[in-house]
Structures are given as structure tokens and as C-alpha cells.
Amino acid sequence: MPDKDAGTPRVFLVRHGETEWTISGRYTGRSDIPLTKNGEEQVSSSAKVIVGSGKIIDPSRIARFFISPRTRARRTYELLFDTSAQKELEEKVVITEDIREWEYGAYEGLLTAQIRAARKERGLDQDEPWNIWESGCEEGESPAEVAARLDRIISKIREIQSPYMHGEEAVDVVLIGHGHILRAFTKRWLGFELSVKLPMMLEPGAVGVLSYEHHKVDEPAFLLGVNMGGSE
């Protein structure tokens, strides 16, 4: 069966590698926690399989990078692309706060169980446990604030990709960010409010893929399976 969507631009979601706080499950927003040795190995292992000429993420096909300013995200970029590739890609890289992790505010460094227990002690969430997708974070960001900044990036991506929906030019985009924000991005890409229940997992150092159906920019889609042979 022929691939009716061959050549359609893609958006690659790259989560940074493991950190010490990733291991413990602590909420890591603005805290600039470096990758662990294992985290660096996670990213390097992914790079060997999916990054390179003719592979899923082909540097020659990338039109733009949007990268979180946090050290763990920037280091992930350095591990994915060798020095020579970075020099060629330099003008395509945008370091932006719009793809930083969710601002956790008073919940920074805490575990989900700690947050829920503390809120319940104060008389909050008596009927249902705290859910970041619905309630956001005290002294941090609300779902609406997160959605607004992600929508700005989505608008920029669609401006880049919409003229080339049949592959007339290579305009793939790579986002390098964090667990919560990349899942939030996926919801907004598909047109869902952040409160919509859409269980997703994205392991440290892993890659997710978004695209479009029927070569139409107004039909964004989650690319459930990717041919490991590359984009051609």
C-alpha cells in the first residue's frame, strides 16, 4: 500500500536525557539540573539510530530547531548532532523560553504525592486529586498560560511548513525540551485543551513524531509509527 502522506513535513519531539531529578520523579522546571552519565548515553544511543543522512532525523531536511534554554536540553542537542553538523545548522537554531518546561512555581523539586498531600491538607482537591493539566501550579503557570506559549510555536511551525505540504522543500522541525511541555505541545498540536485526558509517555532521550494527514496543514496528526529506514 503506497504511503499517501509521503513527503509531508514532520515535527520531532526530543526529550532531554535523564537527570538526577528525572530518576527521583521531582518536578524540574527552571532548576538547571545537568544530564547524568546515563542520560548522555541515552541521547547518544538514540542519535546513532535516528540521526544522520537518510535516517529519520536527517540534518539536511531540518528547517528549524526550537530548543529550551535549560542546560539539559541544550546538552541533548550537542549530543544528537556532531560538531560539523552543528556548524551547518547554527542559523536554524532558536533557543526559546516558549519551549521551556512548565513553570512549576511552588511545586518545583517536589513529587506528585507531596504536592497532592500538601494541597489536601489546606482543604484543596477534596473530591479529586490535584491534576496539573487542569489546575496548573501555584506561583507557576496555569494550563492556559502554557497553551498560549506553545500555540506561538505551533503558529511559527505551520508558517514554515504550510507552503511545502507535498515535500517541495525539506522543512522538518525539531523541538528539544522536557517531559511535561512536549506532551502539552502534542495536545495543542492536535487541537486539544490541556485538560483533555490523553495519556502519553515520552522517555528521557526518546523521540516522538508529529505530522499532518492528507498533506493538509489544517489536519495535524500524531505519527503513531515511523519507518526506521528514514524519511524517503
User: Quick one: pLDDT at residue 224?
Assistant: 81
In DSSP terms, which residues pair with 174 in a beta bridge? 12, 65
Please, which pLDDT band fits residue 225 given cuts at 50, 70 and 90? confident
Question: At a CB cut-off of 8 Å and minimum separation 6, what does 149 contact?
Answer: 97, 98
User: Quick one: pLDDT at residue 159?
Assistant: 98
pLDDT over 70, % of the chain:
94
Strand-pair category, 220-222 with 207-212: antiparallel
Active-site residue identified among 40, 101, 108, 141? 101
Active-site residue identified among 16, 18, 108, 141? 16
- Mean residue pLDDT of the chain comes to 94
Report pLDDT digits (tens) over 162-186.
Answer: 999 999 999 999 999 999 999 999 9
102 is in an annotated binding site: yes
CATH top-level class of 11-222: alpha beta
Report pLDDT digits (tens) over 185-212.
Answer: 999 999 999 999 999 999 999 999 999 9
pTM for this entry: 0.94
Q: Is 101 a catalytic residue?
A: yes
User: Quick one: pLDDT at residue 76?
Assistant: 98
193 is in an annotated binding site: no
| Segment among 1-10, 23-32, 42-51, 89-98 with least mean pLDDT | 1-10
**CA proximity to 88, closest of 53, 42, 55:** 53
Taking the domains of the chain in order of start, what are their residue ranges?
Answer: 11-222
Q: Is 166 a catalytic residue?
A: no
104 is in an annotated binding site: yes
29 is in an annotated binding site: yes
Average confidence (pLDDT) over 199-226: 92
83 is in an annotated binding site: no
168 is in an annotated binding site: no
- Residue-wise burial string across 61-96, b where 16 or more C-beta atoms lie within 10 A, e elsewhere: bbbbbbbbebebbbbbbebbbeeebeeebeeebebb
**CB atoms near residue 144 (< 10 Å):** 11
